[in-house]
Structure 1
């Protein structure tokens, strides 16, 4: 592993950071993407990117928030890539058949992962960071690179949608449980 500062101290600092935050970043990736296998890869990719910018991470006021932002940005990129790929596949296989592609048939009872996946990325990220990871509005805004007002509105709208899908009593509890690995 190549260190940006070259010293053993940087490697030791990074190793400590990795041990402390890997599981949390993997859970965040899972809640943002809904893909258990891909979440571990995404967390590892994010940590590799952090290692390459370790000087910048160490200089950040809140290195863990910086790391969450990297995971969120990488998750957003992967989701966009997956959507583009699904569109290409749908166009390829659906073009000669004259069949219309309809949205998925949503069951009457949806689990928290399906409900989270139904939210647009920013709402999902705000809900997950605020309620599953118990970050403050300011910490969530910092991690996502948005204003506190955006966090407030996106969280409120996201929770309203989850209440509609999961029921008002279960939504918050189930989002929190999923962060602890209860639904992974």
Structure 2
């Protein structure tokens, strides 16, 4: 095997090991950020494809797993923005109809996933990364590309909103799961 072939083999083996170590975590992150199981798997796969394409940059990064989480967060953000645009187009279409619904259809029970999906992306990402993934404020800031202060404020505001949506006991239990 020539030197370039050996280097390519090492690169592929290194990526394969990274994939095996982090794919499930990235899919879980995408699931918690989107609330959609099928979309989470697709987003994690898309993230891995993007990481492979930039593997030299990823493996040279100080924190490759944080880099990967950032890629997932960006893909989720793009997906959410697209969904919001689509909902606005649909709402604009249906708003032209003469009949309107008097009251909203409020579900009887609000679970954590539904409550998380109600949070704006940055708050949701901060809460999920801090409480579900046990990342430090610094690591969360690194993943999202924001300051530590932004992580602190967005996490606090997100938890306050979850407390309002879920009730004090449920939000406290969610926060208590962090070691």
* TM-score, normalisation: structure 2: 0.88
Residue pair 1:69, 1:143 contacting (<8 A) in 2 also: yes
Whether contact under 8 Å (2:26, 2:69) holds in the other structure is: yes
Note if contact 2:131-2:174 (Cα within 8 Å) is conserved in structure 1.
no
Residue in structure 2 matched with residue 109 of structure 1 by the alignment: 109
Q: 1:22 to 1:103 in 2, by over 3 A?
A: farther
User: How far does residue 104 in structure 1 lie from its aligned partner after superposition?
Assistant: 5.1
The residue number in structure 2 matching 1:138 is 138
Partner of 2:43: 42
**1:78 match:** 79
Higher relative contact order (CA 8 A, sep 6+): 1
2:98 corresponds to: 98
Kindly report which structure 2 residues correspond to 1:25-64, keeping only aligned pairs within 5 A, or say none. 25-64=26-65
Contact 2:137 2:151 survives alignment (8 Å): yes
Render the CA deviation track for 1:49-95: whole Å, top value 9, x for unaligned: 00000011001100000000000010000001011111112222332
Q: Which runs of 4+ in 1 moved over 6 A?
A: none
Q: Quick one: distance in 1 between partners of 2:114 and 2:57?
A: 36
CA contact (8 A) 1:109 1:166 kept: no
Q: Which blocks of at least 5 consecutive residues in structure 1 are unaligned?
A: 178-184
Alignment deviations for residues 3-55 of structure 1 (CA, whole Å, 9 cap, x no partner): xx970111111111111111110010011111111000000001100000001
When residues 54 and 86 of structure 1 are mapped into structure 2, their CA distance, relative to the original with a 3 A threshold, is same
RMSD, aligned CA: 2.1
> Helix, strand or coil for the counterpart of 1:110?
coil
Deviation digits for residues 109-152 of structure 1, max 9, x if unmatched?
Answer: 31001100010000000000000000000000000000000000
Larger CA Rg, structure 1 vs 2: 2
Deviation at 1:103, TM superposition (A): 8.7
Query: How far apart, CA to CA, are the structure 1 residues paired with 2:112 and 2:52?
Result: 32
Q: Is the 1:72–1:125 Cα contact (8 Å) retained in structure 2?
A: yes
Count residues in correspondence. 172
